[in-house]
Structure 1
Amino acid sequence: MSEELNRLKEISGFFRRMNTKVKLLTLITKAKEEYDRYDYKSGIETLEEAFKIDPQNPTVLRGLGCMKQFSGDYDTAIEFYRKALEFSEAQEVEYTLIGMAYYLQDKLDEAVENFNLAIDKNDNYTQAYEGRNQAMLENHVKILDLQESLKKYF
């Protein structure tokens, strides 16, 4: 009898875990739809619910970072991306997102540094190369502008 009871408990536990995963995936899907509609406030609320279910899920953490970034809260976005790094198997994505957040704040050296970290993780990740190249180009243009403005004084 206890063997049957143990088996029923195992089955019950399995269904509870599956139910939790379904809830998590449903929330992530809902947040993605809200993101696609530019409804970042609702997306953040939805992902906060998902975060309560699985605070170590890199997709949830990355999503919260993206929502915060597009809401203009770059520092919090970077915090979420860095937290996602702890649990992610595709760290080049997080490093690229961190680089982009720095790029959008015109912190080009930090952007390049993180794009390089992404490339170190996966040297086939084209988004990191594109981000790095854009940040380096912006940096170069700023240097040229600075040199041009300094010519006025010398």
Structure 2
Amino acid sequence: MDTLAKAIEEMKQQNFEEAARLFTKAIDENPNEPVGYINFGNLLLHLQDYERALRFYNRALELDEQAGTAHYGAGNVYYEQEKFTKAQEHFLRAIEAGLDEADVHFMLGMTFIHQDYQKLALPYLLRAAELNTEDADIQFQYGLCLAQNGQLQAAEQAMKHVLQLEEEHSDAFYNLGVIALHHEEAERALQYFNKAVSIQPEHRLAAHAKTQVEAALNHE
């Protein structure tokens, strides 16, 4: 096992000091290889040392401006700092460099979500959902974005898929209730809201919707 592989293994084991030492050694052994800088950047990102992480990613990009994983790492640094426009630039560059993975499409979509650009987010969340059909978070955000774009039938199917992955997903039940209300199916909506509240009693949106629907049904 070479130095870099050892460093990555130490990082996985959460032996961060030893990982840092080995990443430094790997960089010293191959100072013109971007992969060492990228992995050290990943360690620093995990430790929330954003300023230093960005320096390592930028050094990797100086060596190879098409290093997709360096752009992805830099995008994550900016995302964590809520600098969503800068994050977008790097996520896009990562995709352009050939990094066609669910996480990068998902993160790019989420930068648009945080800026209320739901229409722009949708194709990236769709691609993420296609690439990783088993990730409940990705599927949920995709379904939520569909709903925000008025595609309620597709959103309903996406939320049901979330529940296949995670049976106790209270937010999926809540959103299915909201969709049922849009279809004027109050009793079905109430079932979904009841389920959301039973899973998560402090779910305020579901609890409020439940009360409103119960009141409406009692007046009929």
State whether TM-score is above 0.5.
yes
| Residue equivalent to 1:128 | 206
Secondary structure of 1:86's partner? helix
- Pairing 1:74-89 to 2, within 5 Å after superposition: 74-88=152-166
Unaligned 5+ runs, structure 2: 13-34, 36-41, 43-68, 77-100
Cα distance in 1 for partners of 2:214, 2:111 equals 33
Residue type at the aligned position of 1:86: Q
| Residue equivalent to 2:106 | 28
Question: What is the CA-CA distance between 1:118 and the residue it aligns to?
Answer: 1.2
Residue type at the aligned position of 1:60: I
Q: Structure 2 residue aligned with 1:117, among 179, 184, 195?
A: 195
Residue type at the aligned position of 1:31: G
Secondary structure of 2:202's partner? coil
Cα distance in 1 for partners of 2:217, 2:112 equals 34
- Pairing 1:137-148 to 2, within 5 Å after superposition: 137-141=215-219, 143=220
Greater relative CO, 1 or 2 (CA 8 Å, sep 6+): 1
Residue type at the aligned position of 1:103: L
| Residue equivalent to 2:135 | 57
Question: What is the CA-CA distance between 1:90 and the residue it aligns to?
Answer: 5.1
Cα distance in 1 for partners of 2:146, 2:126 equals 12
Q: How many residues align?
A: 135
Q: Structure 2 residue aligned with 1:106, among 161, 184, 204?
A: 184
Secondary structure of 2:165's partner? coil
Report the structure, 1 or 2, having the larger helix content.
Answer: 1
Cα distance in 2 for partners of 1:47, 1:60 equals 7
Cα distance in 2 for partners of 1:140, 1:29 equals 44
TM-score calculated relative to the size of structure 2: 0.51
Residues 115-140 of structure 1 show CA distances to partners (whole Å, capped at 9, x for unaligned) of 11112222232222112112223334
Identity of aligned residues (%): 12
Cα distance in 2 for partners of 1:140, 1:37 equals 39
Residues 9-50 of structure 1 show CA distances to partners (whole Å, capped at 9, x for unaligned) of xx69x89xx969975444333223323444333212001221
TM-score calculated relative to the size of structure 1: 0.69
1:138–1:32 distance in 2 versus 1, CA, 3 Å:
farther
Cα distance in 2 for partners of 1:102, 1:122 equals 20
1:38–1:106 distance in 2 versus 1, CA, 3 Å:
farther
Cα distance in 1 for partners of 2:150, 2:207 equals 24
